[in-house]
Amino acid sequence: MRAFLTALLCCQLLAVAAQATETKTLFRMTGSNTVGAELAPLLVKGYLQSLGATDIEQRSEGVRHWISAQLEGRRVEVPILALGSSTSFKALNEDSADIGMASRRIKRKEMQMLARFGDLAGAEAEHVVGLDTLTIGVHPSNPIAHLTMDQVRQIYERKISNWQELGGPDLPIRPLHRDIESGTRTTFDEDVFGESRPAEPGVYEVSGNAETRQIVLRDLGAIGYLPFAHTQGIKKVALKVGDLAAIVPDRGIIATEDFPLTRRLFLYKKPGQYKLHVDSFLHFAESPEGQKLVADIGFINLTPVALKMTPYPNAPEAYRALMTSGERLSISFRFANGSSELDSRALKDLRRLESYMEQADRELSLTLVGFSDQKSNNNIADIISRFRALKVQGALLRDHQLGDSRILALGAFAPLTADRGQAPVKNSRVEVWLN
């Protein structure tokens, strides 16, 4: 009996020792290379630090990263696989990931694939953690300073194949395109062409953002698109849409989502499923502490900032006066699929606006400026733009006790895109102005 008890005690001690040395996976992340290469590892490290973890380490092999740490007496780990946005939704479907990373919004067919889990486009599942823009870049010696969206489209359609056709040198244009699995490629295709499409002959497909940057810096004839954080050393080309002035992306214009190729960076989880570290990590990524890390890595965070804007010369009188005397907050409220319901980011921006107003060092008055999509009937466009502004005003009053705001409805003035597929989402918006 004594020998049996001794053996039993030894087994228990060995089990405890094995548990102490075994590495526990807190959660798994799969998807976008733009999010997964640097941002996701930094956010995971920040999250672990917020929990009091020690001995935090990162191990990387190409597109695979492992963040490990000592937490509450045991070794923990978060594996990150950055193969492209499309892989995030496949991994969620196959239960090989707990969090999907995407540099574009979930597609309808992906929502249908995951419909058994709930609404993947709802605020519980869809988490916007930052903003980025696809910056059109060329070699620093290229004299081309701006392009229209139509010219960019024709370059990638190979209808324009020499820089001389655009007022530049007699030099063949070498367009660089991301791989078809990339969310960066999807954003570019939808914003430039209105749909995903195969690359034309003569368009060179690259494996990632680093390769695009290397080729643009090396090849005088190259043109490519890159995340804002990856544009060091290249020449940024200003983009012109419709009647608006050509814009070189900067942090302010990206924050408002007015730049033509602005995109959101997403984290997705299965709705209706609570996992402690999954939900806590997503909350951390959206918190002020997490948003500081988003900015530190080079992306645009969601923390509201006040911006002084140059008045549009053709703006309606009331709007021009507002632009002259007021400041625009970087928050722009948008709607789910162009509907009348606020989208997942907007619902959280309501809280960010409330916090901004509470922390202001002076009394501020709000003006909510509503815009609608381009319509043939100006009266209907005006009504829709007013309704959208009233929708935001009502949510601020009902849920956030911010009732002192004015409404300015501008109908279909200053559309941000002429693409029929993107117009309902991008053009239908509510700006926030401060006086």
Sequential DSSP letters for 120-153:
TTSTTTEEEEEEEEEEEEE-TT----EEEHHHHH
Describe the crossing of helices 276-286 and 288-296 by its angle, rounded to 10 degrees.
70
Q: What is the DSSP string of 249-264?
A: --HHHHHTT-STTEEE
**What is d(CA 50, CA 342) in angstroms, rounded to the nearest whole number?**
31
What's the pLDDT at 16?
A: 44
Above 80 in pLDDT, residue 20?
no
Angle, CA 176 vertex, CA 253 and CA 187 arms, to 5°: 45
What's the pLDDT at 205?
A: 93
Above 70 in pLDDT, residue 12?
no
SS3 360: coil
pLDDT in tens, 30-75: 999 889 999 999 999 999 999 999 999 999 999 999 999 999 999 9
What's the pLDDT at 15?
A: 46
**Nearest in space to 50 (alpha carbons), one of 269, 285, 355:** 285
**Neighbouring residues of 328: CB distance < 8 A, sequence distance ≥ 6:** 256, 306, 307, 308, 309, 431, 432, 433, 434
pLDDT in tens, 179-218: 887 888 888 998 898 888 889 999 999 988 889 999 999 9
Q: Which amino acid is at 44?
A: V
The answer to whether 327 and 306 are in contact (CB under 8 A) is yes
pLDDT in tens, 236-287: 999 987 667 788 888 888 999 988 889 999 999 999 889 999 999 999 999 9
Question: How do strand 306-307 and strand 262-268 relate by DSSP bridges?
Answer: unpaired
| Mean of pLDDT values over 115-135 | 95
What's the pLDDT at 13?
A: 45
**What is d(CA 10, CA 188) in angstroms, rounded to the nearest whole number?**
62
**Nearest in space to 414 (alpha carbons), one of 402, 401, 405, 423:** 423
What's the pLDDT at 65?
A: 98
What's the pLDDT at 17?
A: 46
Q: What is the DSSP string of 233-252?
A: TSEEPEEE-TTSPPB---HH
**What is d(CA 268, CA 126) in angstroms, rounded to the nearest whole number?**
5
